[in-house]
Amino acid sequence: MAIPRSFIASLGILFAFFVLFSGGAATDAHAQQLRVISQADGFTDYELVNERLKITAPEYLVVPWSDGQARYRVMEQEIVPVRADSTQMHYVHHPGQYLIAGRDTPVIQTGQPGYTRGQMVAPLTIHIARQNEPQGTTFQVIRHMRIRVFEDADAAVTPRLDRAAPSARDDASLTASLTADSPLANGQWYRIPITEDNIYTLDSDYLEDLGISVSQIDPRNIQIWTTPGYELPHRNSDPRPQLAQIPIIVEGESDGSFDSGDRVIFYSNGPNRGFFNTTLNRFEHRLHPYSRYNYVYLTIGQAAGLRLGTTPPQGSATRDVTEFRDFRWLEQDREKSESRIKSGTQWFGQGFDPLTSASQTIFTDTLAGFRQGSNIEIWVSMGGRSTSPSRFSFTVNGSTALPDLSIPAINSMTSATGLSAQIRELRQTLNGFSLNNDVITIGASFQNPESGSRGWVNWVRIRADRALQATGNRLDFHPPDDGDGSLVRYRLTGFTSQPIVLDITDPAQPVRLQVSQSGNAYTVTHSSARERRFLAQSSFRRPESRRARSQPEHPQPVRLPRLCDHHSRRLPG
């Protein structure tokens, strides 16, 4: 849904009148701190400049609301600590009654969304100054901020939608208004969210749910486009991934109609990844810090789409491979080390309190076909927040098998500067280890004498030898550690029917491998290069439907905030 720029501007005027006539402390000069600096097709940029570091009341802005989010993005931000004096106490109309937020308040607060003139919007409160301590004279003050407000519901994450195009359910249908060389510039497109690496299937019900009338299409023209979907490079000079068509399987397409038993099968990866770092010669993982989704884009083209054919072996295998050294990892973004931290990419997972939750299980998994008596490598990263040193002790399947991990202290629990937590890692190999029922469980205990101390799991990584054995008709595997790039024959077990086996080293260009059956096993012959990654599946998942996203059950009219709604504190006056 596109919200006209004139509508956004009128809401800004409404807010200005609201602040002026509701007794808010604002002058003309103050009201113009937040100003429009540029407008483009699909968004408006606002800038707030406070070079003199005045301690003033908040600014207000109304933005579109969609998919449970206020549709804006902070493009630039500079916040500096200030010790106030009489020149910076900017009392405007009501000396002694000037309300300033406390330090625990977010820089930008989003109010209750609601409807105004038929459009769903949400009010933002931009706290120019936040007081560190009650009755104190130190503040966190915005010097400069640039905010981009998106006019379209999906503009923050997808190209601008053509308002003249027919919309499918929940805006899944995309008709993009883009540059002429974009693949999305022509035709009707359907965005499909992907949360994890899998071979997916789309049946007629799923396509109908997107808004596609399957009786009217030629399935041979179904196309799916995507990018690798991982976090983009931080350097602007580094190349960006380009949207490209991926090869897919469309069962039953040969007759030119998409019938009830037909289906689309394709591979796509989620935003997070585990991979072999060839430079450091080790397995690592990356959790996407900004998104829980990758997206693929489906369209019914004017020509036949790319199809995923079978690639036969390029020679004879030099040996059989029946097991590999698996790599498992766990990382969760649950909380910041300090509630006042409202930016940055460092998050922690499971938390520990020395009084109420000192001992917990931090990792459990089933390593199907684990080779008993082999070595397990455990690598943990833990965090601690205390002004005294902390310590973690660990157990593996109930036994103390790892050394303790010490976490240094931080300097202060209340300072607005400096470290808010310390992070340390422990990496240990357990020799000759055995597992009951192939299950590994790691426990951790947090020890610190100070109340208010806090510990966290940052991440856990496991490497263990196990058979090429599927769980739930799915097996994600890679070559053996002594792989040298020669051809080997991988023997896969645990499947109830013949799997599709893909080389997914390049997730945007998977390669389908030729599968042969040998008794209860299935074999594929392919490279043993360490960086290769494979996925075998005989049961396929349906992607998440965008219709499942929550919407307010009973939307309310937008309520303009009052200064007293924001946990504010009075300045001494």
Taking all residues of the chain, what is their mean pLDDT, rounded to a whole number? 83
What token pair was written down for 138? 């130190």
| H/E stretch holding 225 | strand 222-226
Same domain, 337 and 443: yes
Residue 163 lies in a domain: no
For residues 147 and 61, the answer to whether their CB atoms sit within 8 Å is yes
User: Residues 47-55: what's their mean pLDDT?
Assistant: 89
Whether residue 3 is predicted with pLDDT greater than 80 in this model: the reply is: no
Q: What ranges make up the beta strands (E) of 69-221?
A: 69-70, 72-83, 99-102, 108-110, 114-116, 119-126, 129-131, 138-150, 173-174, 189-194, 198-202
Whether residue 24 is predicted with pLDDT greater than 90 in this model: the reply is: no
Identify the pLDDT of residue 179. Answer: 53
User: Domain holding 375: CATH number?
Assistant: 2.60.120.260
Q: Which range, 14-23, 482-491, 563-572, has the best average confidence (pLDDT)?
A: 482-491
For residues 104 and 340, the answer to whether their CB atoms sit within 8 Å is yes
Q: What ranges make up the beta strands (E) of 43-106?
A: 43-49, 59-66, 69-70, 72-83, 99-102
User: Domain holding 20: CATH number?
Assistant: 2.60.40
Same domain, 151 and 17: yes
Closest by Cα among 272, 200, 302 to 544 = 200
* Number of alpha carbons in the 13 Å side-chain half-sphere of residue 61: 27
DSSP 493: B
Identify the pLDDT of residue 67. Answer: 79
160-202: per-residue pLDDT in tens?
333 233 333 344 444 444 555 678 888 899 999 999 999 999 9
Residue 116 lies in a domain: yes
Identify the pLDDT of residue 532. Answer: 95
For residues 365 and 400, the answer to whether their CB atoms sit within 8 Å is no
**Cα dihedral 460, 466, 471, 473 sign:** positive
Which string of b and e fits 318-327 if b means at least 16 CB within 10 Å? eeebebbbbb
The structural domain count of the chain equals 4
Closest by Cα among 128, 1, 13 to 62 = 13
Range of the domain at 415: 325-467
User: Residues 503-526: what's their mean pLDDT?
Assistant: 95
User: Residues 524-548: what's their mean pLDDT?
Assistant: 88
Identify the pLDDT of residue 547. Answer: 43
Identify the pLDDT of residue 99. Answer: 65
Same domain, 367 and 421: yes
Same domain, 113 and 201: no
Same domain, 295 and 243: yes
349-397: per-residue pLDDT in tens?
999 999 999 999 999 999 999 999 999 999 999 999 999 999 999 999 9
Q: Report the distance separating Cα 566 and Cα 125, nearest Å.
A: 9
What token pair was written down for 557? 């009219």
Residue 162 lies in a domain: no
**Integer-rounded Cα radius of gyration of the chain:** 28
Portion of the chain with pLDDT greater than 90, in percent: 58
* Number of alpha carbons in the 13 Å side-chain half-sphere of residue 366: 8
Same domain, 35 and 112: yes
Question: Which alpha helices (DSSP H) does 195-282 contain, by range?
Answer: 204-210
Same domain, 79 and 96: yes
Per the model's pLDDT, the better-predicted residue between 20 and 123 turns out to be 123
Residue 362 lies in a domain: yes
Same domain, 23 and 77: yes
Same domain, 88 and 180: no
Identify the pLDDT of residue 98. Answer: 52
Same domain, 397 and 257: no
Identify the pLDDT of residue 367. Answer: 96
Residue 253 lies in a domain: yes
Band (pLDDT 50/70/90 cuts) for residue 131 is confident
Residue 490 lies in a domain: yes
220-240: per-residue pLDDT in tens?
999 999 998 898 888 888 888
Pairing of strands 439-447, 500-503: unpaired
For residues 46 and 147, the answer to whether their CB atoms sit within 8 Å is yes
431-479: per-residue pLDDT in tens?
999 999 999 999 999 999 998 999 999 999 999 999 999 999 999 999 9
For residues 277 and 258, the answer to whether their CB atoms sit within 8 Å is no
For residues 125 and 566, the answer to whether their CB atoms sit within 8 Å is yes
SS3 425: strand
Q: Report the distance separating Cα 407 and Cα 487, nearest Å.
A: 46
Identify the pLDDT of residue 87. Answer: 53
Same domain, 90 and 125: yes
Identify the pLDDT of residue 138. Answer: 83
Has this prediction a pTM greater than 0.75?
no
Residue 161 lies in a domain: no
User: Residues 123-129: what's their mean pLDDT?
Assistant: 91
- The type of residue at 443 is G
108-120: per-residue pLDDT in tens?
999 888 887 778 8
Whether residue 484 is predicted with pLDDT greater than 70 in this model: the reply is: yes
Residue 395 lies in a domain: yes
Angle, alpha carbons 299-304-307 (nearest 5°): 90
Whether residue 323 is predicted with pLDDT greater than 90 in this model: the reply is: yes
User: Residues 11-21: what's their mean pLDDT?
Assistant: 43
Look-up of token digits 């893909």: 502
Identify the pLDDT of residue 16. Answer: 41
Same domain, 146 and 12: yes
Q: Report the distance separating Cα 66 and Cα 8, nearest Å.
A: 15
